[in-house]
Amino acid sequence: MKVSVLQMDMLFCEPEKNFKRAGEMIETAAKGGADVIVLPETWNTGFFPKENITALADKDGEAVKSQIGSLAKKYNVNIVAGSVTNQKGGRIYNTAYVFNRKGETVAEYDKTHLFTPMGEDDYYTRGDHLSPFVLDGVKCAIIICYDLRFPELIRSYTTRGTDCLFVVSEWPKVRIPHLTALLKARAIENQMFVVCANSCGKAGDTVYGGNSRVFDPWGEEILAAGENEEILSCECDLSVLSGIRESINVFRDRRPEIYDIK
């Protein structure tokens, strides 16, 4: 499975320009032979417009479905369309959408853990569901940025057989070492591929750090981005999964009957 990560430098509070830029980057990646294209978190608005959030938000994902979903169909490619600031049911959500090669929506996930240190919970509503999905026969899952710090959420996916976890984020430059360490740990402990598309550039006073990564189930880094906008691609050899899980069978050896995490 060839994965292309779009490390996008989105413009703060400029959704029309960001949709145009995302479309250009998707076209480039698709023409490069990608099987799956991945965008970062809240790429339509940046993280996050407090004064005019409702006016700038997508409306129940209509723009994403129309513009990004149509590109998935046009180029016959799967698109993990990052997340967008999204209004639905009278509330604002941080919503991720995933499209298959037919342009069909195969997953819609609302960010579960909102980043309280920056007041995300004052403007967005917490999600309340998992969204596993399948792309080209591969069992996948998606989380958004701060979700990465909560291993219980990710293990809830992997006990269902997830082979590839997509992490879409807008992670600040100052905490990039945390991002890298957590991505690697999640890959090793869950024996799966972990694909992270992180944004770069600046939104408000915050500088976002890029450094998008892909780790294999051994924790080996197979893709590493810098700090600037770029498109990077790598092959994820899914055939290695069975051998890894047979040699160190952590899922067989789990003891859920004695775990108490509530």
Residues marked as catalytic: 41, 111, 145
Helix/strand/coil (H, E, C) string of the chain? CEEEEEECCCCCCCHHHHHHHHHHHHHHHHHCCCCEEECCCCCCCCCCCCCCHHHHCEECCHHHHHHHHHHHHHHCCEEEEEEEEEEECCEEEEEEEEECCCCCEEEEEECCCCCHHHCHHHCCCCCCCCCCEEECCEEEEEEEHHHHHCHHHHHHHHCCCCCEEEEEECCEHHHHHHHHHHHHHHHHHHCCEEEEEECEEEECCEEEECCCEEECCCCCEEEECCCCCEEEEEECCCCHHHHHHHHCCHHHHCCHHHCCCC
Angle, in degrees to the nearest 10, between helices 151-158 and 176-190 = 30
CB count in 10 Å sphere of residue 183: 26
Task: Confirm if 105 and 97 have CB atoms less than 8 A apart.
Answer: yes
Measure the CA–CA gap between 232 and 37, rounded to whole angstroms.
10
